[in-house]
Amino acid sequence: MVQRIIPIALIVLICSAAGAQTAPVFEGPVLITSAGQSGDAPIASVLFKRAEIGATFEKLATAKNLEGQKTLVLVLGASMKGLGAAGLDAAKELERISSLVADAKKKGISILCMHVGGEARRGDLTDQMVTTFLPAGKAAVVVKSGNKDGLFTKIAKEANVPLVEVEKTLDAVGPLKKFFNK
């Protein structure tokens, strides 16, 4: 009898410990914007639709777009072509996102960081966006191939930001549902 109880008690203890670290909970309304003007932000918008989470996508979000929002989603991924099309350079984009993050923090708006472009979307400017803005996140969802060098893991660990890696972009729907209790 005791031999049966000990393994069962151990399983209960392990399961309790594993569940002790609860996932951050985010709330709507949600504002999605690009940090780097890549084509990944519209993809993140589609992921939110698939997860049945209402979200507004604003390509060049500013403080006025934060009104009434409870979650800001920063899609980390830079594109020189996208920046040019938006009439921005890297410095202006960094300034825009820095201001947006500061305003979100002032207003108590939670920040979720996403990197859905994978390895193809990595580069010096994306890495600068990650290094600068990932620490502001309450959590991050990253396509695994974009984290081959462990940059996201390192920064998330240093900043105590829960990091969820997914194999494929579409797999981000599951963590989004969990984060938003869907």
Domain boundaries, the chain: 26-179
Distances from the Cα of 121 to the Cα of 18, 39, 79, 126, 153, angstroms: 33, 10, 8, 7, 17
Residue with tokens 């009104």: 67
Q: 121 with 82: CB under 8 angstroms?
A: no
Secondary structure (3-state) at 143: strand
> What pLDDT shows up at residue 171?
96
Radius of gyration of the CA atoms of the chain, in A: 18
**DSSP letter string over 21-65?**
SPPP---SSEEEEEESB-THHHHHHHHHHHTT--EEE-TT--GGG
| Position with higher pLDDT, 14 vs 140 | 140
| Percent of the chain's residues with pLDDT above 70 | 87
| pTM of structure | 0.85
| Position with higher pLDDT, 15 vs 181 | 181
- The correct answer on CATH 3.40.50 for the domain covering 26-179 is yes
- For the stretch 42-67, pLDDT in tens is 999 999 999 999 999 999 999 999 99
Question: Cβ neighbours of residue 140 under 8 Å, at least 6 residues apart?
Answer: 112, 113, 114, 115, 134, 152, 156, 161, 162, 163, 164
- For the stretch 108-162, pLDDT in tens is 999 999 999 888 888 899 999 999 999 999 999 999 999 999 999 999 999 999 9
